[in-house]
């Protein structure tokens, strides 16, 4: 069975913050964004679902529209790309 993960280049500071300080970073490990180095975060299907629950006023919220799947930090949007393992 393939495992879906989504990866975004968000920058070193944002990756560190999203994986340690965001509201979803306080959840069980399977629901957290992971800092995978190089300024990138990775979200499992469960972590993506948890991030979709955030309000748009919260850093780390997710949008899925005509511009694609994106994670937001402040006023900046970063594209999430699907990676299948």
pLDDT per residue over 2-37, tens digit each?
689 999 999 999 999 999 999 999 999 999 999 999
- The residue segments making up the domain with residue 35 are 4-84
81-37-66 Cα angle (round to 5): 20
Mean pLDDT of 47-62: 94
Residue 67: what pLDDT?
85
* SS3 (DSSP) at 65: strand
* Number of structural domains in the chain: 1
pTM of the model: 0.90
Residue 3: what pLDDT?
86
Q: Is the pLDDT of residue 1 over 60?
A: no
Residue 27: what pLDDT?
95
């Amino acid at each position: 069975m393939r495992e879906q993960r989504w990866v975004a280049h968000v920058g070193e500071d944002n990756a560190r913050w999203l994986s340690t300080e965001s509201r979803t970073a306080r959840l069980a490990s399977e629901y957290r964004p992971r800092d995978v180095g190089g300024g990138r975060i990775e979200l499992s299907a469960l972590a993506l679902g948890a991030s979709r629950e955030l309000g748009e006023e919260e850093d780390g919220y997710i949008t899925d529209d005509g511009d694609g799947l994106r994670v937001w930090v402040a006023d900046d949007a970063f594209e999430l790309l699907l990676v299948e393992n």
